[in-house]
Amino acid sequence: MISHSYTFTGFAFYWDGTGEAVFSIGNELLRQPVGNSWTQAVNIPWSGQPATNSDVSGQLPAVVQRNNEATCFIIPDRI
């Protein structure tokens, strides 16, 4: 998985592995597909709005590379 948090308003991620990937939130039974590029990334805003597939490629110029480092997201209970 490749992910980033942007402008402290949300985070986005996509799958860069083989095969397909899905995600779910909390104990929800609904599984949703994960995109495979920044133009099809899963976007989850901190406001608690539902996760959507979005083009977040416009945020990338400001990204700081953290390759080979662990990333931990603390996700609010509302999501």
pLDDT tens column, 49-62: 788 888 988 887 87
Q: Is residue 73 part of a domain?
A: no
**pLDDT class for 76, splitting at 50, 70, 90?**
low
The total number of structural domains in the chain stands at 1
Q: Is residue 26 part of a domain?
A: yes
Domain that holds residue 39: 2-62
Query: Considering the entire predicted model, what is its pTM?
Result: 0.66
Q: Is residue 9 part of a domain?
A: yes
Q: Are strands 41-45 and 22-23 parallel, antiparallel or unpaired?
A: unpaired
C-alpha 9/C-alpha 79 separation (Å) is 13
- Where do we find the tokens 């990338």? 60
Q: Which residues contact 40 (CB under 8 A, 6 or more apart)?
A: 14, 53, 55
Torsions phi, psi for 5 (to 5 deg): -105, 135
pLDDT digits (tens, 9 = 90+) for 16-40: 888 888 888 778 888 888 889 989 9
Question: Is the CB of residue 40 less than 8 Å from the CB of residue 34?
Answer: no
